[in-house]
Structure 1
Amino acid sequence: MSPQANTRDKYQIKKVAVYIRVSTEEQAKEGYSISAQKQRLKAYCIAQDWNIAGFYVDEGISAKNMQRDDLQRMLQDIKAGLIDCVLVYRLDRLTRSVLDLYKMLEIFDEYDCKFKSATEVYDTTTAMGRMFITIVAALAQWERENTGERVSMGFHEKTRQGKYPLNFRPYGYDLNLKTGELTINNEEAEVVRLIYDFYLNKGMGAGKICKYLNQNHIPTRRGNTWIAKPLMQILKNTLYSGTFVYGAETLKTPVIIEQEKFDMVQETIKRRRTQNPKQIAGEHIFTGVLRCHVCGHAVTGYRSYHVTPNGEKISYKNYRCLRIKTGQCKGARSFSERNLENAFLDFIRNFDFDQSAYEIANDKINMINKGKQTHSKESILKDIEKLKGRIKKWQYAWANEQLTDDEFMERMDEERTLEASLQTKLLEVEPTLPELNKAAIKEILANFKSNWHKLEQLEKRSLVQLVIKNVSYYFNDKKEIIVNDIEFY
């Protein structure tokens, strides 16, 4: 190729997608970290006088398939004409599968997008170039599959023998590498229990828990600061409730979190995927389940204070419509949590648990049959577009060193969690739910009446958030608050 042709090809590239991937095992390897790849690829683009259209980063994910969030987002941007070249540090950062390579090359060709590696020379426009890149990909796939088979066989066998198969200890445990035995690390186990308690009983999300741990100088297993994704993995890992699972093999492990508490956390994780963050936080029992009896707007909790004659300051928990302060809702009343709780319990005492269990189950089944949608397709698509805009903003901030790697990955984890929620809503044209256990519903409802006074304040709030969708109320002629209906999930 002549220098003139090479120059012409160089200036045809205007919108470069920088794709970065690092698997969990490669995190600490020289030259493979996210920061190392980012710096080298930025320098490559500067040397070529290329504009970076966006960074696409998949962290802690192998290249065995194409089910990677940012890879899929990059392919969508290619199809939308936003990218005319994909740049990687090495081919194996993009894929280790020959079949997946062919699929991606077909997409690149169809949408006139080039592919470049910063450390390897490929020309995908010729038959020889395609053969060469296919051979390299085939060798990478063979290496991955061969290594994977050996590792998987070893892991299965060690688990079958009652040994923890991995060579690094999980947070909260000590590991004897010779025997494969896990023992509880008391100091870290207390942190694990604290994480579960904060998430379940104090309504704290992963970000707030990480902030608390970092501010109190509690490091991760490797001595780093906490970020959301690994913390969520602790909350989801069955290891802490006594069972490690690898394929068809299971290993009993020392219990740090009781099974009942672990199960409640899993239910809470599912609920929070679609729940407003304001419904999660706060110590008021009925936060997020109240609508104004006058205007139907959200009711929020607040505190009022009274100073006694001897100077003691007493705090009271109250609720009010958000529109009272702005004057938009003039007929609503503020009310205390104590009065609301009493009205709530009065309603529960007269509740027909048997009938309600059937009604709740039937309401859910009827909702499925009708294919009810709570969000329009147009509004969800708009939210997805807004999310993509925010992702690009975080990428530019990270590329320009305005965000650290940990901060960037935390932001991306949050956006991907939201994206998964939006995509789920988009697919809910005909929602399907498993058959509801009416006996279980009855037991949950009965727990309110029998166990309410045994619960701590935050436990009451967690129980309400777990099973109640809405509490309706009004005021009688004596200005007493009356609960007249409760809507359960």
Structure 2
Amino acid sequence: MPKKRFEGEYLLTGLIRCPECGAAMTASRTVNRSKDGKKITRMYYSCGRFRSQGSAVCHANSVRKVEAEQAVTDRIRQAVVNPETLQRVVRSINERRSGRMKPLRDELTAIQTHITSLEDKKRKYLELYEIDNIDRNMFSERLSVLHKELDSELTCTSKLELELRDDQADPVSYEFVCFHMTKFDALLRYSPFQQRKTLLHLIVKNITLDDKRRIEEVELAFSKETQNHFLSGAPSVKSIAEGAFSCSKDNLLLNQVITIVI
């Protein structure tokens, strides 16, 4: 592991973007002394380009660590339990499911047509072989090629039929999405630092600041990877968060990315 430049728990390193140049903001701090000589450490997120290349390329544009992290986690907590946001998520999931079906059906129809054509060829070769109008070696070679093509197309057919069957299931309900999103809220509240940091880096795509260095937008992306990591495979870490990670395989979210800007 690389050595830390500063001690401290920085949740958002690399996620916040500099409002001036767009570079990722990294951990920084200042150390001062009060009138009575007591050391005071203040922690910030500052422009990574400024820290590595100096004022010729950008400025510090520092934002206080505590305020930034509080603003981001508060927004996420509000978003994952907000009925209007969750309804948008439900609509997005179900629209994507229905939108996927037509191209899948078209592809399945094309493959089935090709399989029929291959079966016809196979039947003709057999007829030619039976009346001794085709060389044995040529027959074996062509039949082998046909079998490989048929096996490949049948495998594709099985996969497409499985996808269609999954997409034709009942629409994802509001209650189902709400159940999963509130588990993210529990994770944000009760998990240890490293687990919360991993969660944020999985679900937060981007954090932008306005011209006054306040949190402007937080872009979230919930995917199968996020769910598998936190709702299936990870153990609970505190009794208060029991159940926050449990999720049966039958209730997994779809294999697609759901993006929310808050």
Instruction: Please report the TM-score for the alignment, with normalisation by the length of structure 1.
Output: 0.24
Select the structure with the greater relative contact order (CA < 8 A; seq sep ≥ 6): 2
Instruction: Please report the TM-score for the alignment, with normalisation by the length of structure 2.
Output: 0.41
- Structure (1 or 2) with the greater helix fraction: 2
